[in-house]
A and B are shown apart, each in its own frame.
Chain A
Amino acid sequence: EAEVAQSPRYKITEKSQAVAFWCDPISGHATLYWYRQILGQGPELLVQFQDESVVDDSQLPKDRFSAERLKGVDSTLKIQPAELGDSAMYLCASSSRLLAGGQDTQYFGPGTRLTVL
């Protein structure tokens, strides 16, 4: 069964350090999403790619966060420097293709639990 892969599963870092997360979407999925989820809240979209292009990064804190999907397949999300408030679950999801109002469903990877000390 095809799955979204993410690594690492857990990351503990100190404040002001750099961290990076990796995501490999389901094969053939053109659309990739990075979300942040704080305990007790719904996922918050950070960035959305269609192939290698950014479709939406309006909620990405660009002073410290960056994301890339250079070849339109796997993707990396980076935080530099990490802050205490960045502690959360970082989720990657993919869907086959972004369609306006479409029923394309998002499938999630296992997530990366980040703890900033």
Chain B
Amino acid sequence: QKEVEQNSGPLSVPEGAIASLNCTYSDRGSQSFFWYRQYSGKSPELIMFIYSNGDKEDGRFTAQLNKASQYVSLLIRDSQPSDSATYLCAVRVNYQLIWGAGTKLIIKP
């Protein structure tokens, strides 16, 4: 069974620090990897996706993919209180998008 695992948290990070969120997946055939942010009571919004090994940067966000170890991570630099949310990892295998349960991130001022 295809699985995507995330630590549910909450992960508490001081304002201005780097927040590191991790996601592991079970299917070696996984091809694309997505990070979504979800504020309480709202719908998920796309932060970024990655499909090649290595790092991909977009502003304060960096996604890191290691297919050999089957994990993908999201780094948030200079964390702000507005980054407090649940972060969902989603993994595409062929036509399916498999979702993790999310990690709750709290940025403390």
On A, residues with C-beta under 8 Å from B are: 40-45, 48, 55-56, 89, 91, 98, 100-103, 105-111, 113
Answer whether residue B43 sits at the interface, using C-beta atoms and an 8 A cutoff.
yes
Q: How many B residues face the partner with a CB closer than 8 A?
A: 25
Report the Cα distance A102→B31, complex, angstroms: 7
Other-chain contact of B99, A43, A55, A56, A113 (Cβ < 8 Å)? A43
A107, B95: Cβ atoms closer than 8 Å: no
B45 contact set on A, CB distance < 8 A:
108
On B, residues with C-beta under 8 Å from A are: 4, 8, 31-32, 34, 41-46, 49, 51, 88, 90, 92-97, 99-102
B8, A40: Cβ atoms closer than 8 Å: yes
Could you tell me the distance in whole angstroms from the C-beta of B46 to the nearest C-beta in chain A? 5
A103, B99: Cβ atoms closer than 8 Å: no
Of all chain B residues, the one with the shortest Cβ separation from A42 is B99
A44 contact set on B, CB distance < 8 A:
99
Which residue, of B46, B49, B93, B95, has the highest number of chain A Cβ atoms within 10 A?
Answer: B95
Could you tell me the distance in whole angstroms from the C-beta of B52 to the nearest C-beta in chain A? 10
A108, B43: Cβ atoms closer than 8 Å: yes
A55, B101: Cβ atoms closer than 8 Å: no
